[in-house]
Structure 1
Amino acid sequence: MFLYTVLISAFLFIVLPFLLLPVVVRKGGELAGWYIRHKTQARRELLLSRAAAEHKQYASEEKNSVNQEDEEWERVESSAGKPVRTQSERDGDWEGIIGFFHPFCNAGGGGERVLWAAIRATQKRWPNSLCIVYTGDHDVDKDAILRRVKDRFNIHLHPPTVNFLYLTTRHYVLSSTWPHFTLLGQSLGSLIVAYDAFSLLVPDILVDTMGYAFTLALSKFLFPDVPTGAYVHYPTISTDMLGSLDEDGKEGGKGVNAGTGKGVKGTAKKAYWRLFARLYSWVGGRVDVVMTNSSWTQNHIKQLWGPSRASNPRASDITVVFPPVAVEELAEEIEVNEASEKNRESSLLYIAQFRPEKNHPLILNAFTQLINSKDWPDDERPKLILIGSVRDNEDAKRVYKLRLLARELNIKDDVEFICDASWPQILDWLRKASIGVNGMWNEHFGIGVVEYQAAGLISVVNASGGPKEDIVIDLDDGPTGFHASTASEYAAAFAKALELGHEETMAMRLRARKSAHRFTEEAFATKWVGQVEKLVQLRRKPR
């Protein structure tokens, strides 16, 4: 009798609480989510009613005009093999709120082009839905953001059905906030920022377009009925990153952490990264729909998230959705023929945000080797053009240091920095330059490289990641550019590209332009809509 009493007591006070703990935690999360949703309901109704009123006003003003966007959408939908819907059928489709988690939406980089193209495709497919962008860009209002989207990317959004909610906690995802344990710190910081976003509004569908996968796990914990999607530009951690810790880092190395895995500190860092990779893998299993921007990213995300996603019944296959590039516009704006070749200069163009991983110093050093390789005639002396957006003071300091480096290398007169260039400025340089450069190791995709190709430039890119695997490939039995890893390899590739004969140069430019047509905005919109359709269906489906 005593034994039975002990066993029953142990079950009631030890085993049962342990078994019930996951249920209690899950229900506690749902209760907290219900409270947040209830608290933000008034803002939700206000935003929906305001969007409906503005949408109606826009519709009446444009009632008698030709709707070019509808024509564009019909081409997208037809290319997907689906019947083209009438406007009334589309209007009556889905009218929920899609939240886009993108705290740096006004940065002006390739990731932002994806965001705005995704919103435009969403607006065309679900014209009565409301797109909400969670951003920390307090210094600009909606009109200023949309104006920059138009000027920088030539993307025209429908203002009534896109809105912005401003975060007050964005600093928690800055690397400067976490000088130690940066990966974990930024990931945990993203949970704070996500809670900030949910406290402003709980969407019907949440999509992370910036790589903060932990925010989607928090969303699942609080709001299990909200489908989640991720557009992954770059895995937060990868097996390549772990391997780079043992690289020597010479002549460009293998990323910003090359060679830091040595000694006691390096061993501890490797252990910490491996533990973080396991946590990152678990988080990825909570995401319903995953899109990657390249086959390189897809392979790594499958390795990291695949095992964890196998236990998620709502999870779909991880799909490559190449980023949208203004290929058609570039082909229309920039000619590639005998006449246009006369206007090309011996210029090397590098379009990239001024961030550490873009490895501008590598390109400056390689360009120095090119300049010093021979005595150049004045009319043939190469020039290096660095174009990129400057997001904050850290980027501005980085540009200053790059200018100092150019001076130290004695090439300051041969290098030009253009910060926050407008689209017309970029077009002008794409017309004039001969070579397009990419210096980042394991660049996730490389929108700038596709822009080079569409403009007919000969690309010299890092022999890794998307530029090597997806973009600068052989086409029609010929190369579309060159690959390099070290400063000396880049310098040699620059020289080879500049020394090509006229016929060979023209043939490579035309092959590059043909290759670029695999990455059009229309192709992106078709695939994007197909994946978001899955999220909409999950939202409609009862739990």
Structure 2
Amino acid sequence: MAVLYLLLSLLAPLLVSVIFLPKTLRFVAELVGHHLRRSSRTRRELLLARVAHETKRYESEHKEKSNEDDDWEQITSAAVGSAVNGGRAASEWNGIVGFFHPFWYGFSGTVEEANAGGGGERVLWAAIRATQKRWPEAVCVVYTGDHDVDKVAILKRVKERFNIQLHPPTVHFLYLTTRHWVLASTWPRFTLLGQSLGSLVLAYDAFKLLVPDIFIDTMGYAFSLGLSSFCFPTVPTGAYVHYPTISTDMLDSLQVGGQGVNAGAGAGYRGMAKKKYWELFAKLYCRVGSTIDVVMTNSTWTQSHIKTLWEPYRIKRSKSEDIDVVFPPVAVEEVTEAVEVSEASEKNRGPYLLYIAQFRPEKNHQLILEAFASFLHSNPHIATYNNKAPKLILIGSVRNSHDDAKRVYKLRLLAHELKIEDNVEFICDAPWPQLLEWMSKASVGVNCMWNEHFGIGVVEYQAAGLISVVNDSGGPKLDIVIEIDGKPTGFHATTVEQYAEGFRKALALSPQDTLAMRRRARKSAERFTDRGFAEKWLTNMEKLVALQVERSRSKAS
């Protein structure tokens, strides 16, 4: 087995190059797909038998049902045979949907991502729930690399963390053994290409276990979808893209004066080589993206970049489906229930600036500290708010690495050097209830990441009624901190001076204007609920089901 995986890793570039090769080699890829489908046929039969057994047992054990169980009862008795000649209509589809999701933050990731409904994972569970309710006889299979948790524990954690109730009989998990191939640590050089090629090995591992009827990636492994398209032409593929693996902004950032963690890295011969490597990888990424049937993005910013990269190639392949924006589901209802926004609650708030973000370089905590120092020092006689002094609260997780801990230490030193240590508080690895508590006490929510692809934390700020001061880029600018009813819900900034001015404006509003902006912010957050996500998800999922039905009929005829 190890030899096979080693061989696959050596052949991975050849598998990718199928994109450029004539139809004869595509035929070879389909032969490989036929072999994989045949070798996993027994597991498919066993899986369907298990689903039938668990369904009967579930129904017998839940005769006395809660309200949520009643909801499942309403959808588990779908009629069959309404299509032509007594066949199944697309609305009664009962195939297998494979969700490619090798990592779960809820079990091994960061505290704020897990507790606050970390973007990628919440999308997965909300998508499965919507799919189950729309097609109750379909089976949702999740390919994962987390071997240390079983189905019961997973579904329990999903309910506890995300308040998402899944129907146990029709959701199952298949465990991958090759996840290390997509770890950055496996590829210390040429990481982007290495991880993408590694995803081919991981996808092959998944298809050996089971070939689904529809294959969906929710983590950004576009190459896995490309492999599926070539090996299984009748299997529709779908991608939910949180951010592009590479973008034009990344290429531009290499220039002197660019932004982000790679700013200025394009200088010199090594920089030129890096830029050429990125450009070549971008072309390969574009060609792989052109093979995907249905593409969803989590924000307007991501959509714009994916369209720029993929759409020209998709047009050549006659991919008629547009690239759709499907905002991720955010725990808006949970925040609004926990945090009051009213005249009475204003008495409990202080002039506190809240920044919830992992202590990573791209979150740019240093700029926020400098901006807060500028704000304090330029307003030495600033009036207190509810008899409280302004304070910056930095809440974030510290990953299990020496670099993160060292970064927090350096930030503490910087606060001391800026003479603001008495007005800054660091809180590491805060639980979700503590985050809610601070959202109810703070007045301003801060975001400083350049080109944040969406910004779930900013939506949570708005749901809590915080006035946001966010980076003038990405999702926070284009989708979240926008005007509502023709009036602002926060402020945008880029430089230290602009952030300092944003803080001043946010805290200088009159009580009436402050409360009005908080209410507009909360209204803005209502666009990002679980229900809104489910409706858009199903619109795109219906396209995949229709494609699967159509291709299956064409193959049969």
**What's the RMSD between the two structures over aligned residues?**
2.7
CA distance in 2 between counterparts of 1:132 and 1:158 reads 12
Asked if the contact 1:347–1:385 (Cα under 8 Å) also holds between the matched residues in 2, the reply is no
Asked if the contact 2:103–2:144 (Cα under 8 Å) also holds between the matched residues in 1, the reply is yes
Shift of 1:371: 5.0
Q: What is the identity, as a one-letter code, of the residue corresponding to 2:215?
A: L
**Secondary structure of the residue that 1:146 maps to in structure 2?**
helix
163-172 or 25-34, larger mean C-alpha shift: 163-172
Select the residue among 299, 323, 331 that pairs with 1:326: 331
Select the residue among 398, 420, 424 that pairs with 2:404: 398
Asked if the contact 2:365–2:411 (Cα under 8 Å) also holds between the matched residues in 1, the reply is no
Select the residue among 400, 414, 426 that pairs with 1:416: 426
Deviations 1:360-386 (A, max 9, x none): 343344344445554787832313131
**Secondary structure of the residue that 2:337 maps to in structure 1?**
helix
Alignment correspondent of 1:407: 413
Q: 1:468 to 1:90 in 2, by over 3 A?
A: farther
Asked if the contact 1:230–1:291 (Cα under 8 Å) also holds between the matched residues in 2, the reply is yes
Shift of 1:293: 1.0
Select the residue among 505, 519, 524 that pairs with 2:514: 505
Alignment correspondent of 1:337: 342
Q: What is the identity, as a one-letter code, of the residue corresponding to 2:46?
A: L
Q: 1:368 to 1:145 in 2, by over 3 A?
A: farther
Alignment correspondent of 2:173: 164
Alignment correspondent of 2:201: 192
TM-score under structure 1 length normalisation: 0.86
Asked if the contact 1:102–1:135 (Cα under 8 Å) also holds between the matched residues in 2, the reply is yes
Asked if the contact 1:289–1:315 (Cα under 8 Å) also holds between the matched residues in 2, the reply is no
Alignment correspondent of 2:101: 102
Shift of 1:269: 1.6
Asked if the contact 1:99–1:131 (Cα under 8 Å) also holds between the matched residues in 2, the reply is yes
**Secondary structure of the residue that 2:22 maps to in structure 1?**
helix
Q: 1:141 to 1:487 in 2, by over 3 A?
A: farther
CA distance in 2 between counterparts of 1:467 and 1:532 reads 27
Q: What is the identity, as a one-letter code, of the residue corresponding to 2:165?
A: H
Q: Are 1:289 and 2:294 matched, yes or no? A: yes
85-94 or 230-239, larger mean C-alpha shift: 85-94
Alignment correspondent of 2:268: 263
TM-score under structure 2 length normalisation: 0.84
Alignment correspondent of 2:78: 88
Gaps of 5+ in 1: 1-19, 75-84
Select the residue among 456, 459, 467 that pairs with 1:458: 467
Asked if the contact 1:346–1:382 (Cα under 8 Å) also holds between the matched residues in 2, the reply is yes
How is 1:338-487 mapped onto 2 (pairs within 5 angstroms)?
A: 338-373=343-378, 374=380, 379-388=388-397, 393-394=400-401, 397-410=403-416, 414-419=424-429, 421-422=431-432, 424-487=433-496
**Secondary structure of the residue that 1:88 maps to in structure 2?**
coil
Q: Are 1:52 and 2:58 matched, yes or no? A: no
Deviation above 6 Å: which 4+ runs of structure 1? 375-378
Alignment correspondent of 1:141: 150
Select the residue among 249, 254, 275 that pairs with 1:245: 254
Deviations 1:201-232 (A, max 9, x none): 21111111111111100111211111100011
Asked if the contact 1:361–1:402 (Cα under 8 Å) also holds between the matched residues in 2, the reply is no
CA distance in 2 between counterparts of 1:354 and 1:139 reads 27
CA distance in 2 between counterparts of 1:320 and 1:25 reads 35
Asked if the contact 1:364–1:406 (Cα under 8 Å) also holds between the matched residues in 2, the reply is no
Q: What is the identity, as a one-letter code, of the residue corresponding to 1:35?
A: H
Deviations 1:105-135 (A, max 9, x none): 2333212111111111111111222212222
Q: What is the identity, as a one-letter code, of the residue corresponding to 1:190?
A: S
362-371 or 509-518, larger mean C-alpha shift: 362-371
Q: What is the identity, as a one-letter code, of the residue corresponding to 2:98?
A: G
CA distance in 2 between counterparts of 1:72 and 1:517 reads 26
Q: Are 1:514 and 2:523 matched, yes or no? A: yes
Shift of 1:457: 0.8
Asked if the contact 1:90–1:127 (Cα under 8 Å) also holds between the matched residues in 2, the reply is no
CA distance in 2 between counterparts of 1:473 and 1:69 reads 39
Shift of 1:400: 4.3
**Secondary structure of the residue that 1:310 maps to in structure 2?**
helix
Asked if the contact 1:406–1:415 (Cα under 8 Å) also holds between the matched residues in 2, the reply is no
Alignment correspondent of 1:77: none
Shift of 1:527: 0.7
227-236 or 93-102, larger mean C-alpha shift: 93-102
Q: 1:257 to 1:478 in 2, by over 3 A?
A: same
Asked if the contact 1:90–1:126 (Cα under 8 Å) also holds between the matched residues in 2, the reply is no
Deviations 1:498-540 (A, max 9, x none): 2322112111101111111122211110110110111111111
Alignment correspondent of 1:15: none
Select the residue among 498, 503, 506 that pairs with 1:494: 503
Shift of 1:350: 2.6
Q: 1:247 to 1:323 in 2, by over 3 A?
A: farther
CA distance in 2 between counterparts of 1:494 and 1:479 reads 15
Shift of 1:145: 3.0
Q: What is the identity, as a one-letter code, of the residue corresponding to 1:114?
A: V
Asked if the contact 2:216–2:239 (Cα under 8 Å) also holds between the matched residues in 1, the reply is yes
CA distance in 2 between counterparts of 1:236 and 1:116 reads 23
Alignment correspondent of 2:4: none
**Secondary structure of the residue that 1:149 maps to in structure 2?**
helix
Shift of 1:24: 2.6
Q: What is the identity, as a one-letter code, of the residue corresponding to 2:495?
A: T
**Secondary structure of the residue that 1:338 maps to in structure 2?**
coil
Shift of 1:402: 1.9
CA distance in 2 between counterparts of 1:450 and 1:68 reads 27
Q: What is the identity, as a one-letter code, of the residue corresponding to 1:393?
A: N
Deviations 1:173-207 (A, max 9, x none): 22222222222121111111111222222111111
Shift of 1:335: 1.8
Q: What is the identity, as a one-letter code, of the residue corresponding to 2:101?
A: H
Q: 1:102 to 1:64 in 2, by over 3 A?
A: same
236-245 or 153-162, larger mean C-alpha shift: 153-162
284-293 or 365-374, larger mean C-alpha shift: 365-374
How is 1:167-316 mapped onto 2 (pairs within 5 angstroms)?
A: 167-248=176-257, 254-313=259-318, 315-316=320-321
Q: 1:314 to 1:51 in 2, by over 3 A?
A: farther
Q: What is the identity, as a one-letter code, of the residue corresponding to 1:317?
A: D
Q: What is the identity, as a one-letter code, of the residue corresponding to 1:269?
A: K
Asked if the contact 1:73–1:124 (Cα under 8 Å) also holds between the matched residues in 2, the reply is no
Asked if the contact 2:359–2:408 (Cα under 8 Å) also holds between the matched residues in 1, the reply is no
Residue-pair matches, total: 506
Q: What is the identity, as a one-letter code, of the residue corresponding to 2:102?
A: P
Gaps of 5+ in 2: 1-19, 82-87
CA distance in 2 between counterparts of 1:176 and 1:475 reads 44
CA distance in 1 between counterparts of 2:155 and 2:100 reads 17
**Secondary structure of the residue that 1:409 maps to in structure 2?**
helix
Asked if the contact 1:95–1:130 (Cα under 8 Å) also holds between the matched residues in 2, the reply is yes
Q: What is the identity, as a one-letter code, of the residue corresponding to 1:30?
A: E
